[in-house]
Structure 1
Amino acid sequence: MTWHHLLDKLFRKHNGELLAFAARRASPHSAEDIAQEAFLRLMNHPDLDAIDNPRAYLFKTAANLSSNLYDYDQVRRRYHSDEPVDTESLPSTAPSPDAAVAAQQQLERFLAVLGLLPEVCQHAFVLNKFDGLSYPEVAAALGISAKSAQRYVLKAWQHVLQNLGEEFFGDGMAG
Structure 2
Amino acid sequence: MSDVNELEPDGLEGLNALYRQYARWLAGRLRAHVDPDQAADVVQETYLRAAPYSAGGIRHPRAFLLRIAMNVVRDESRCRKRRGSSEPFTELADPGEAAGQVEALMMKKAVLTMPALYREVFVLSRFAGMSYPEIAAARGLSVKAVEWRMSKALQHCVEQLGG
**For the superposition of Structure 1 and Structure 2, which TM-score range results when normalised by the shorter chain?**
0.3 to 0.5
Q: Which has the higher helix share?
A: 1
TM-score by length of 2: 0.38
TM-score by length of 1: 0.36
Higher normalized contact order (CA 8 Å, seq sep 6+, divided by chain length):
2
